[in-house]
Structure 1
Amino acid sequence: MTVCEKEMTNEQLENILHDDEASFLLLDVRETTEYAIQHIPGSVLIPLGQLSERLDEVSNEQPIYVICRSGVRSDEACTILRENGYDEVYNVVPGMIHWNGIVESDFA
């Protein structure tokens, strides 16, 4: 059961990623190693444990799509963001565990 009021599917996110006119922040809240292995191009990494201290890096002027491995950490991140005044926050489920779109890796 998720707490985040707004959710979107992986497929919905993938459609948004293909929209060249869309303005948004894709926030990845996994750990650094998970992100380095595989992440969605253009996503911004702020691990969940650092989010409260790094809110100044997150703009509230565009929708925020939050992703993690399976939707649990991203749900927690959505709660933190909403409690701090962020309105357009969406939990992407089921997350990277079932992501079929384009990915990048920091390992060659």
Structure 2
Amino acid sequence: MDSNMIFNLVALGFIVWFFYSRFAGVKGLRNLSSEQFQEALTTDNHKHVLIDVREPGEVKQGYIPGAVNIPLSTMGRRLAEIPKDRPVYLYCRSGMRSKQAAKLLRKHGFNELSHLKGGIMSWNGKQTQ
């Protein structure tokens, strides 16, 4: 094997790992449709924490009422603001960042995690501007 072939294999391995880590499911994460997400938020008597993981500029375009904005970019520093003894519902624009947030929270001992599949783009409930 020449060095060019080895480099190509390593690069390919990195690309495969990158896509797998971004798109693979998160163990224990409930992927909820818009309807399921809305139903879950209304049936647990406000014992949950609803987190919008988008950046503040995105939130200005509209958010789900009752959501707290903790951007994914700051979540690692703000873990103490999230109670571990309550269900956590996450959403972002398309569902990718909320999955990453769930992965981070799972790693820090959060167990009851759900996210809005398709993000706020798939949301058909009420939004606040």
TM-score by length of 2: 0.76
Indicate the SS of the match to 2:32: strand
Opposite residue 12 of structure 1, the aligned amino acid is Q
Identity of aligned residues (%): 35
Cα deviation for residue 33 of structure 1 reads 1.0
1:46 counterpart = 2:70: yes
Cα deviation for residue 10 of structure 1 reads 1.4
Cα RMSD for the two superposed structures:
1.3
TM-score by length of 1: 0.90
Q: Where is the helix percentage greater, Structure 1 or Structure 2?
A: 2
Q: What is aligned with 1:64?
A: 88
Higher relative contact order (CA 8 A, sep 6+): 1
- Where structure 2 has 5 or more consecutive residues not aligned to the other structure, the ranges are 1-22
Q: How does 1:20-39 map to 2 (within 5 A)?
A: 21-39=45-63
Indicate the SS of the match to 1:79: helix
Cα deviation for residue 22 of structure 1 reads 4.3
- Where structure 1 has 5 or more consecutive residues not aligned to the other structure, the ranges are none
Structure of greater Rg:
2
Contact 1:16 1:22 in 2 (8 A): no
Q: How does 1:1-108 map to 2 (within 5 A)?
A: 1-5=23-27, 6=29, 7-19=31-43, 21-105=45-129
1:75-94 alpha-carbon deviations (Å, 9 max, x no partner): 00000000001111112201
Contact 2:53 2:101 in 1 (8 A): yes
Indicate the SS of the match to 1:37: coil
Contact 2:54 2:69 in 1 (8 A): yes
Opposite residue 29 of structure 1, the aligned amino acid is V
